[in-house]
Amino acid sequence: MNLTQEDWASNLEADTNAVILDVRTEDEFNDGIIPNAVNIDIHQGQFFISEIEALDKNKNYYVYCRSGVRSAKACEVMNELGIENAFNLTGGILAWNGEIVSP
């Protein structure tokens, strides 16, 4: 599900069952992240699928990338693999107004 920056941030803040998932490359991840994000690079093919399959399907995943395209695809894949609550950050980290920290 695509969420605006505002909805993504407010839902995340109120969600006690949330996991922040960054699906960018390791280099992009190292340039700065939304606090507490976990990195699983969507470009890693089968490794990405394996990592997603290993996630707790009862959690709510707040997913982002650079601009929102890869994270939208990641949410689709997550839904196909049985994770119902995957929320894409529309506009990605480029449009993020919140805090960005070093990993």
Catalytic residues: 65
DSSP 93: G
Structure tokens belonging to residue 37:
């994000």
Q: Which tokens in the block code for residue 48?
A: 């990405």
Phi, psi (rounded to 5 degrees) for 62: -105, 110
For 1-103, list the strands marked E by DSSP: 2-3, 18-22, 38-39, 60-64, 86-89
Task: Give dist(CA 60, CA 99) in Å, integer.
Answer: 20
